[in-house]
Amino acid sequence: MKISTLGWAILVAISGASAAMAETIAPADAPKWYGAFHGGAAFVHHSGADTRGAVGARFGRRFFDRVDFGLLILRSGSKDNATGIEASELFVMISGDYFFDQLPGLYLGGRLGPVGRAVKVPGLGDIDATSFGMGLGGGYDYPIKRWLWLGVAADWLYAPKTEKTVTSNGAKVTTRFVGTGFTHLLGVLKVRF
């Protein structure tokens, strides 16, 4: 199935919105295998327990794929000692589509900096944020379709969901920040065996 340039643009836009949604809905205590939404045929956005996020790449097989689930089996990352925010991350997921083909696959993804950073918000102090991530990933579909997917995506996320409670005039005030973001699909290579 060929997808036009406009179709890819729509999918990329949807995937960016879904990345922001994944940041917004991820509970603060989400386990590391927490699944992520991926709109259309774009990429895996894996939200960690701290909701800072890691951008991987998982390019779907069908135009109408909607929900992805995954089990994180390996995770390795580095942190910025000054902020405690993860600068890069590598992960391996066993993943499959909940709708349509329900075909499992093995996916390798990762995120490289620049590093995440802490943003100072007046009256609230430092709020964790992730600046920019680059994802590289691929998947192997077998035996149903025998496709090898390899893709690169860039992702920008800012101020993932953070709750901050401060005391103002003797009263406790809780402010919640939610994630925003967009994704730019840099390229995808599709090989059929």
Query: pLDDT by residue (tens digit) across 93-145?
Result: 444 443 333 344 444 444 444 444 444 444 444 544 444 444 444 555 555 55
Secondary structure class of 111 (helix, strand, coil): strand
Give the mean pLDDT of 30-58.
Answer: 28
Q: What is the pLDDT of residue 72?
A: 44
Domain assignments of the chain as residue spans, ordered by start: 5-192
Question: 2 burial class (0-12, 13-18, 19+ CB within 10 angstroms)?
Answer: exposed
- What are the structure tokens assigned to 73, written together? 């089996």
Specify the higher pLDDT residue, 189 or 103: 189
Rounded to whole angstroms, the Cα distance separating 12 from 56 reads 14
> In whole numbers, what is the pLDDT of the chain averaged over residues?
44
Give the mean pLDDT of 7-23.
Answer: 46
Q: What is the pLDDT of residue 152?
A: 52
pLDDT over 60 (residue 169):
yes
Contact 49, 84 (CB under 8 A): no
pLDDT over 60 (residue 164):
no
